[in-house]
Amino acid sequence: MLDFVRNNRRLMLLLLLVLVFPSFVFFGVESYSRFMDSSHDAAKVDGRTITVQEVDNVVRDQTERMRQMLGSNYDPRMFEGAAARQSVLDQLILQRVVADATAKKNLTVSNEQLRQAIESIPAIAQLRGPDGKFDEKAYIQLLAQQGMTPEQLDARMRFELATQQLGGAVGTTAFVPKSLLDRLIAIRDQQRDVQAMLIKPADFTSKVTADAAALKAYYESHQSAYTTPEQAKVEYVVLSGDAMAASQTVTPEELKSFYDSNAQRFRTEEQRRASHILITVPKDAKDADRKAAKDKAEKLLEDVRKHPETFADVAKKNSQDPGSAEKGGDLGFMGRGALVKPFEDAMYALKDGQISDLVETDYGYHIIKLTGIKPAATQPLDEVRPELEAELKKQLASKAYTEQADAFGNTVYEQSDSLKPAADKFKLTIQTADNVTRQPNPALGKDNPLNNDKVLKALFSDDTIKNKRNTEAIQVGPTTLVAARIVDYRPATARKFEDVEAQVRQAYVAQQAAELARKDGEAKLEALKKADSANGFGSTLTVSRAKADNLSPKAVDAIMRADATKLPSVVGVDLGADGYAIYRITKVSTPAEANAGQRQADAQQLSQLAGQTELAAYYESLKAQAKVKILHPAKAEDLAPASEAAAH
């Protein structure tokens, strides 16, 4: 059927036109579009949809951020699988539900709360100058680099703070009663003295009879363990934006033109360094107080003009600017717009080393000394050449990738019996790998596209295996497409009993010896319960939930769960291939009560856990009220096709 479609594409298009056109006539274009679009809905929250495309966009944004953060340590299997998509869908549903609940409860935040939250963001907090003035121009530029305006950030932060109120009202009210806290701490810190007796499978191997019939029966019941998995020899080609960037050639003319159009980025405006002495005056100060402050400032001005070299010492002793006084009044280098206008105008009117007259601002009276000038400068092309070349190559590669992505996908589909046409057309190298299975192979390297779940699923599809056709162009990264095909396929085969008889014998004997050890251990355990004896046990160990003393988690759990109301008591643990262990508990003790600080930390941690549990339950109740419906469960293969991804 697939061959017929491929070989009669024009006929199939005409047939589809005949079938689809009446649908528009009978149902109308609008209703038909709604019908088709519904197939792209991932979920509904209170009747409003979350589309598959929304999920795709968030997945791509998150994977790209992780790729940039982790660099060579990035592993796509951790962030691009079905579990990651489901997590994103759950996140979008929760955001929608919480947003609705926030709006219904009319939760909001004050302008002061909003301002404090925004200014606490580290990148924004750095925009406040030494004199305490906020650099509005730099703030707008910073947001513009992120594709936002101040109004958009205000709206986003206001909404996030409001939704946090919703969670905080539930999560922060949880508490753990004192009696429960005491009990939990006692259970956690309880210690038990134990002696161990280990019954080892090795002591029973000589008692195992491994006749031919038993071995054959074991082989038949564990045949999957003796099967060579299906394997394939694979060819693949990679269309990579990163590779394109590395191979791009930039002419001197292109680089000069790019530099000229971006010259403003490399220009540094004139900056000036100044020190000042501030005598503060409140805005509502009385005339007498204002005059006294001015008189003091004029006296200091007279002193520093007579002895300019004492300016720093005078500032340390007399300046009332807490941010600069201890530094001798030094404000560092700054450009225009960083300071209040009267101060800035006076500073830019000075020559290097000159001291100003009194300058009055809303803060009080300033005495300014200009201590340095950095003239405006533009970095020459030679200094920024590597940076610009890399950026220009990346831009050219991105454009080339976008132009080639559709054509690449069409080529590997239309000429599906070979990757050579695509390799020749796009100047790609056909790479090969052998012994490829349905599971990722660490030996290939974690960045190898044949370790991508989407590629492996397409590669081992029935059509690809049977007809050895190319896979579709599969997007494995923001600017990376892969197409692969199977050259040689070897199905899974069961190895003959004769070829694996030695392995079967070893596994059978180990299993039977472990079973005999378990039975012997259980018999000894029952005997010890009837008549206690310390014979056969080792030295005493002190075990707690926080201190395993090299015991397995299973053993520690059994020891701490055992009934210790009457001592000594015994408990048995089946350790599988390691045998059977019996533990004799001889003492139970609780350490002295933790200090007040530790106890408070424990209470806080348990309260947080209780709060998280209550908050999760609250969110689930909101989901139930919102009538959440999953229409399209998230799957790894739901990512948009290569052509669509390239378009975005």
H, E, C per residue of 16-60:
HHHHHHHHHHHHCHHHHHHHHHHHHEEEEECCEEEEHHHHHHHHH
pLDDT (mean) for 408-424: 93
What is the structure's pLDDT at 81?
66
162: which residues sit within 8 A by CB, 6+ positions away?
A: 102, 107, 108, 109
Q: What is the DSSP track for 408-446?
A: HHHHHHHTTT-SHHHHHHHT-PPEEEEEE-SS--GGG-T
Tell whether the model's pLDDT for residue 350 goes beyond 70. Answer: yes
> Where does 312-410 show beta strands of DSSP type E?
330-334, 359-361, 364-374, 377-378
| Range picked from 32-41, 188-197, 634-643 for highest mean pLDDT | 188-197
What is the structure's pLDDT at 40?
66
- Each residue's pLDDT tens digit, 60-82: 777 777 766 666 566 666 666 67
Contact assessment for residue 321 and residue 278, using Cβ atoms and an 8 Å cutoff: yes
Q: What are phi and psi of 416, to 5 degrees?
A: -80, -5
- Each residue's pLDDT tens digit, 260-305: 877 777 877 888 999 999 999 988 888 898 999 999 999 999 999 9
CA–CA distances in Å: residue 586 to residues 71, 179, 532, 540: 54, 27, 11, 9
Q: What are phi and psi of 223, to 5 degrees?
A: -60, -30
- Each residue's pLDDT tens digit, 477-523: 878 899 999 999 999 898 999 999 999 999 999 999 999 999 999 99
For residue 203, the 8-state DSSP code is: G
Buried b (16+ CB within 10 A) or exposed e, 31-46: eeeeeeeeebbbbbbe
Which residues sit opposite 482 in a β-bridge?
238, 474
How many whole angstroms separate alpha carbon 387 and alpha carbon 262? 12
Contact assessment for residue 208 and residue 507, using Cβ atoms and an 8 Å cutoff: no
H, E, C per residue of 241-281:
HHHHHHHCCCCHHHHHHHHHHCHHHHEECCEEEEEEEEEEC
Contact assessment for residue 92 and residue 50, using Cβ atoms and an 8 Å cutoff: yes
Tell whether the model's pLDDT for residue 638 goes beyond 80. Answer: no
What is the structure's pLDDT at 131?
66
How many whole angstroms separate alpha carbon 194 and alpha carbon 567? 11
Which residues sit opposite 489 in a β-bridge?
232
Residue, of 481 and 641, whose pLDDT is higher: 481
Q: Which two tokens stand for residue 324?
A: 């600069």
pLDDT (mean) for 111-130: 80
Q: Is 380 helix (H, G, I), strand (E, B) or coil?
A: coil
What is the structure's pLDDT at 346?
93
Tell whether the model's pLDDT for residue 644 goes beyond 50. Answer: no
What is the structure's pLDDT at 18?
37
Q: Which two tokens stand for residue 91?
A: 């996140």
What is the structure's pLDDT at 605?
79
Q: Which two tokens stand for residue 457?
A: 């699923």
For residue 338, the 8-state DSSP code is: S
